[in-house]
Amino acid sequence: MKYVTVEYAGREVPGVLDGDSILLLSATDLTEVISGPADVVDKIPYDEGILRAPLRRFRRDILCTGWNYWDHFEESRGKREGQDVERPKHPTFFTKGPDVVIGPYDDIAWDPAVSAKWDYEAEVALVIGKTGKNIAVADALDHVWGYTLANDVSQRDLQRAHGGQWLKGKSIDDTMPLGPWIVTADEVGDPQDIHLQCLVNGEVRQDASTRQMAFDVATLISELSFGMTLRPGDLLLTGTPAGIGNAREPQVFLQDGDVVVTRSDKLGELRNRVARA
């Protein structure tokens, strides 16, 4: 199933994509749907123009994984401005503020006064569906409700300016497209068999499979939940593959008017214009 959030009657309403229609649900939002069943209360025609970010209300910051494709880790070696590290032996986690989230077709709020180095990072994201702590690898996928797409648009100079930590350089408001829907885990199947691409102005910049991950989805969940409770509605980004602008020679960063497409064979497509805030 594909769960969506749509603009309807002046408010955002959760629903289920059903062919050419959307079944509207009685819940307040998808976070509530994840926690329990909801009734169908109406049916409207599908129109991509009414799609909004599927998740908007979070119980905590957005959870993220860094350096989770070794080709991406290696392409940036020597380009981290003195902040290089050795290959990590465990997943690298960080968080983003929730106000980064925008819809699947919204503009990315570009501001050259904030940063001169705006970069794209196509990612598969997962949504936790069941509370868990110290989750075993063998049980980890049972805790996933569904999968969606995100683009972890980053400000590289802010990353470097704040000691190499990633919170500030990845938490600028209205910069992370999410969606277009959440595909339930049963429909996705093997999360290590998802094709992921990022295009800028029609040029393919990133092209990879989740099979290339350094740490697979089950391992990410298990390691993140060690001593730390994960709850329904938590959003976890699983890392980006090679091809980022900061690692290219010469470097190339997002500019006003660029069109960024994040797409997957199983999860749909985000399409966002970079626009001056």
The stretches in the chain having pLDDT less than 70 are 78-83
Concatenated DSSP letters of 52-100: E-S----SSPEEEEES-BHHHHHHTTT-STT---PPPSS-EEEEE-GGG
Mark whether 200 and 83 lie in a shared domain.
yes
How many Å apart are CA 107 and CA 102, to the nearest integer? 8
Mark whether 10 and 62 lie in a shared domain.
no
Mark whether 64 and 42 lie in a shared domain.
no
Other CB atoms within 10 A of residue 155 CB: 22
Confidence (pLDDT) at 248: 95
Mark whether 59 and 148 lie in a shared domain.
yes
Mark whether 32 and 6 lie in a shared domain.
yes
Other CB atoms within 10 A of residue 182 CB: 30
Confidence (pLDDT) at 181: 98
Mark whether 132 and 222 lie in a shared domain.
yes
Residue 48 has φ and ψ, to the nearest 5°, of -60, -20
Length of the chain: 277
Other CB atoms within 10 A of residue 41 CB: 12
How many Å apart are CA 73 and CA 257, to the nearest integer? 29
- Of 14, 37, 52, the position where a domain reaches its end is 52
Mark whether 207 and 242 lie in a shared domain.
yes
- Of 16, 35, 52, the position where a domain reaches its end is 52
Beta carbons of 213 and 192 less than 8 angstroms apart:
yes
How many Å apart are CA 68 and CA 245, to the nearest integer? 17
In terms of C-beta density within 10 A (0-12 exposed, 13-18 middle, 19 or more buried), how is residue 264 classed? buried
Model's pTM, two decimal places?
Answer: 0.96
For CA atoms 50, 240, 138, 225, the dihedral sign is negative
Mark whether 3 and 121 lie in a shared domain.
no
Mark whether 11 and 107 lie in a shared domain.
no
Q: How many domains does one find in the chain?
A: 2
Structural domain of 192: 53-276
Confidence (pLDDT) at 96: 96
The CATH number of the domain where 57 resides is what?
3.90.850.10
Sorted by sequence, the CB contacts under 8 Å of residue 154 that are 6+ apart come out as 118, 119, 121, 166, 169, 170
Confidence (pLDDT) at 162: 82
Sorted by sequence, the CB contacts under 8 Å of residue 35 that are 6+ apart come out as 232, 233
Confidence (pLDDT) at 161: 85
Mark whether 13 and 114 lie in a shared domain.
no
Confidence (pLDDT) at 83: 64
Mark whether 43 and 84 lie in a shared domain.
no
Mark whether 149 and 267 lie in a shared domain.
yes
The CATH number of the domain where 43 resides is what?
2.30.30
SS3 263: strand
- Of 52, 69, 93, the position where a domain reaches its end is 52
Residue 2 has φ and ψ, to the nearest 5°, of -120, 115
